[in-house]
Amino acid sequence: MSHKIVVPIGPYHPLQEEPEYFRLYTEGENVVDIDIVLGYVHRGIEKLSESKHFDQVPYLVERICGICSNSHPFAYVNAVEDLAKIEVPERALYIRTIIAELERLHSHLLWIGLAGHFIGYNTVWMWAWRYREPVLDMFEMITGNRQHYAMMKVGGVRRDILETDVPLLKKTLDELAPAADMFKGAVMDDPVIHARLKGIGVLTKEQVIEWCVVGPTARASGVDIDVRRDDPYGVYDKIDWNVIVQKEGDVFAKAVVRILEMYESISIIRQCVDKMPKGEIDANVKDVPAGEGIGHVEAPRGECFHYVRSDGTNRPVRHKIRAPSYVNVASNKVACVGGTISDAAITLAAVDPCYCCTERTAVIDRQTDKKILNGWDLVRLSQEKTQRLKK
């Protein structure tokens, strides 16, 4: 009889440092099954939303996620605008697009840094987060906040982008482009990263379709979907840009998609700043009629979906939210199985999952009940594999 050992990653994820529990069933080094337990930070936001009026909900849904805190309000306002058939002033649409792409930039830089750290490239981690800082500075300049920008409102945006802000925004983008070149070189030309990430955590095209996976995780497996192009919102249909697709489906392909998407984001923001017309930024919506509406946006991690139903009062009677990690994390069931324990860390991280908090993990031998490994040992195992490859 084979000797199966359960490797619990969580309930606080040791790498993302957020609460989520992956129970890996292993035989020797190999992962043979995985059980995913979540809900540790479930706050009942759908239910809470029913007690807020339509103008308060963006502040609530902004707090679903600290990293893509613009995507949820953006999807929500799209849903209410679909429900009430509201025309949004063009300048507001440009501002929404700029904020959404700045968010993608900082989110992808965050992921590149973390992924570098997981495989033992701490220099990549430090450099990526160093270049993320100026992006957060742009948020502070435009919105007043580094996170939770509070820009979206039904019918428009809350703050304008001032003429005096534009030169610094352009300068920051000009400085970010060479940094993106550097990351592209650091990842795509490094033989050790090729050896470490290629063929690891593969998600095939068929699996992506079966599990209804979205975003960069789907695009890295050759599934060409992107809400920005497929169902344009904001001004994505007025801008020249490309959807980045890779075929391999491994962790390397996911990294490549995110790095190349940064170039597209920089280009989109530049075009928006140049084309942005002057004018109103708010349609001044007074009432939301009875009805139902659907809004979805391409968040940095994939499609973020909101369904809103109104009964004609000033509060939603139902508000359904589906974040991209909800479907992407579920796909770890297939991506992780068949790999080794030392690859589990980077494979689980490759979908860029989104949860929050601190670390706690232990590897326990089921037969003797003795602790074998803790969270940092998992990071060490992953980093040691890279070291071996470097030799």
Partner 1 sequence: MTALSEIKDGLGEKIVDCYQHSPKRFYLKIKSKDLKVAADFIFNQLKMRLVTCTGQDTPQGIEILYHFSLDKTGEIFSLRLLLEDKKNPSIETLALLIKGADWIEREMWEMLGINFIGHPNLKRLLLAEEWPKENFPLRHEHEHE
- In 3D, which of 30, 24, 35, 121 has the Cα closest to residue 379? 121
Identify which of residues 168 and 294 has a Cβ nearer to partner 1 in the complex.
Answer: 294
3-state SS assignment for residue 391: coil
Q: Please report, in angstroms and rounded to a whole number, the separation of the first and last CA atoms in the chain.
A: 37
Dihedral over alpha carbons 326, 63, 148, 290 (to 10 degrees): 90
Identify which of residues 34 and 115 has a Cβ nearer to partner 1 in the complex.
Answer: 34
What whole-number distance in Å separates Cα of residue 24 and Cα of residue 36?
A: 9
By the rule CB under 8 A, 42 interacts with partner 1:
yes
Crossing angle (nearest 10°) for helices 341-350 and 251-275 = 20
By the rule CB under 8 A, 23 interacts with partner 1:
no
By the rule CB under 8 A, 288 interacts with partner 1:
no
What whole-number distance in Å separates Cα of residue 187 and Cα of residue 254?
A: 12
By the rule CB under 8 A, 72 interacts with partner 1:
no
Stretch that binds partner 1, among 34-42, 62-70, 264-272, 373-381 (CB under 8 A): 34-42
Question: Backbone phi, then psi, for 155, in 5-degree steps?
Answer: 100, -5
Identify which of residues 315 and 322 has a Cβ nearer to partner 1 in the complex.
Answer: 322
Identify which of residues 17 and 292 has a Cβ nearer to partner 1 in the complex.
Answer: 292
Rounded alpha-carbon distances, angstroms, from residue 47 to 26, 44, 75, 158, 319: 38, 5, 17, 25, 8
Figure out which of the listed residues 230, 287, 365, 384 binds partner 1, where binding follows CB under 8 A. Answer: 230
By the rule CB under 8 A, 209 interacts with partner 1:
yes
Figure out which of the listed residues 251, 307, 336, 341 binds partner 1, where binding follows CB under 8 A. Answer: 307
Burial 47-61 (b: 16+ CB within 10 A, else e): eebeebebeebbebb
CB of 211 to partner 1, least distance (A): 5
CB of 53 to partner 1, least distance (A): 17
- In eight-state DSSP terms, residue 19 is B
Figure out which of the listed residues 1, 39, 164, 274 binds partner 1, where binding follows CB under 8 A. Answer: 39
CB of 322 to partner 1, least distance (A): 4
# binding residues, partner 1 (CB under 8 A): 35
Residues near partner 1 (CB under 8 A) are 38-39, 42, 44, 46-47, 82-83, 85, 209-214, 225, 227, 230-232, 291-294, 296, 303, 305, 307, 309, 318, 320, 322, 326-327, 330
